């Protein structure tokens, strides 16, 4: 990962089964500055059945969820073409498998790492299949309790894969009260693993906040327009939003690379002379006048009178000479 935060835009099912649309997404996302494009590798008969209900019954052309998954399938040559297109654009091809058969296909494509979706955290059969590849695993936690994560992480650690986690809330779209940003820190301390954030809010704010909290990976759904057909469109980011998000994430990361030392303000000395203030009197005052708080004002620049922060040392002191309104007040004006 060349950047401090690994940014993944998930096309997922936004292509709606169209190979041409899938390739169009690659071209558009390549202009946003992301690191990887993530897909979902569906082999309908291996992962589902006619008994699977729709999460959101959005489809006008699929009688069953099984029909939908079949329509989302690509052949191996088509997946290979998509992977090659990603790599031509400098993007990593990443995918979530939903069956052991899908893992076999992704292995044939020679993916660099695996993203495990929230619904597969307890699918130990597929987890073992993935773990045996020895490749890095990004594990999402959307529907999992800490107890389930404990068990899955312990299981995977036995294989020695490079493992990272994503805080995720499985809600489409996810409202702010359900972002669970606090869980990022909890996961870091609990598991001592890199922790990122998988977002379904449809806005840039959650990912920016997660970056500021130290997320190492960001994942979100991508769509050309939130009004498009599909189950994830409303919870996705449009291309313009993704460009804005990437700029923000990179700037936050850059700030982490250059921590500010608040104990050393030497570079501000010239500015301090301009912006800080000297004491002055706010009315004509005669010689022998005893100074009160009400006699004083603070005026720019610094070093033309007693520093404003030292005003208390002059209260109750006697003027040696008369001063005009708005004259600066110096130590030599005070009787010792």
Q: Which domains does the chain carry?
A: 6-257 (3.20.20.70), 266-333 (3.90.1210.10)
- pLDDT for 2 equals 44
The residue written with tokens 């007040």 in the block is: 329
Q: What is the pLDDT of residues 140-153, one digit of tens each?
A: 998 889 999 999 99
- pLDDT for 3 equals 60
- pLDDT for 57 equals 65
Q: Does residue 322 have a pLDDT over 70?
A: yes
Q: Which region holds residue 99: left if phi is over 0, alpha if psi is between -120 and 50, else beta?
A: beta
- pLDDT for 196 equals 98
| Averaged pLDDT, 53-69 | 72
- pLDDT for 170 equals 79
- Identify any residues that bridge with 264 across adjacent strands, giving them in sequence order: none
What three-state secondary structure class fits 14?
Answer: coil
Q: Does residue 1 have a pLDDT over 60?
A: no
Question: What mean pLDDT value characterizes the chain?
Answer: 93
The residue written with tokens 């993530």 in the block is: 38
pTM value is: 0.86
| Averaged pLDDT, 236-256 | 96
Q: What is the pLDDT of residues 80-117, one digit of tens each?
A: 999 999 999 999 999 999 999 999 999 999 999 999 99
Q: What is the pLDDT of residues 66-82, one digit of tens each?
A: 888 888 899 999 999 99
Q: Does residue 61 have a pLDDT over 50?
A: yes
- Contact of 112 with 91, CB cutoff 8 Å: no
């Amino acid at each position: 990962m060349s950047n401090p935060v690994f940014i993944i835009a998930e096309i997922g099912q936004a292509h709606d089964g169209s190979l041409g649309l899938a390739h169009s997404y690659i071209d558009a996302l390549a202009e946003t500055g992301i690191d990887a494009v993530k897909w979902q590798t569906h082999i309908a008969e291996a992962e589902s059945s006619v008994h699977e209900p729709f999460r959101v019954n959005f489809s006008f052309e699929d009688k069953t969820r099984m029909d939908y998954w079949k329509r989302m399938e690509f052949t191996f040559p088509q997946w290979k073409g998509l992977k090659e297109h990603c790599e031509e654009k400098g993007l990593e091809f990443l995918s979530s498998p939903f069956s052991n058969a899908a893992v076999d296909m992704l292995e044939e494509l020679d993916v660099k790492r695996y993203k495990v979706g929230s619904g597969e955290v307890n699918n130990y059969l597929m987890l073992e299949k993935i773990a045996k590849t020895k490749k890095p695993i990004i594990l999402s936690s959307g529907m999992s309790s800490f107890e389930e994560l404990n068990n899955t992480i312990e299981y995977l650690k036995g294989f020695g894969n490079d493992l990272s986690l994503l805080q995720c809330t499985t809600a489409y779209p996810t409202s702010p009260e359900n972002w669970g940003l606090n869980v990022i820190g909890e996961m870091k301390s609990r598991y001592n693993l890199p922790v990122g954030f998988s977002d379904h809010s449809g806005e840039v704010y959650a990912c920016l906040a997660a970056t500021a909290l130290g997320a190492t990976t960001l994942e979100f759904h991508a769509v050309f327009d939130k009004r498009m057909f599909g189950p994830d469109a409303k919870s996705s980011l449009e291309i313009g939003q993704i460009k804005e998000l990437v700029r923000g994430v990179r700037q936050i990361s850059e700030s982490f690379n250059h921590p500010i030392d608040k104990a050393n303000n030497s570079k501000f000395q010239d500015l301090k002379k301009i912006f800080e203030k000297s004491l002055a009197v706010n009315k004509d005052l005669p010689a022998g006048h005893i100074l009160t708080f009400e006699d004083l004002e603070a005026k720019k620049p610094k070093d033309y009178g007693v520093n404003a922060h030292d005003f208390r040392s002059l209260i109750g002191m006697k003027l040696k000479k008369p001063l005009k309104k708005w004259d600066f007040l110096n130590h030599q004006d005070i009787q010792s």
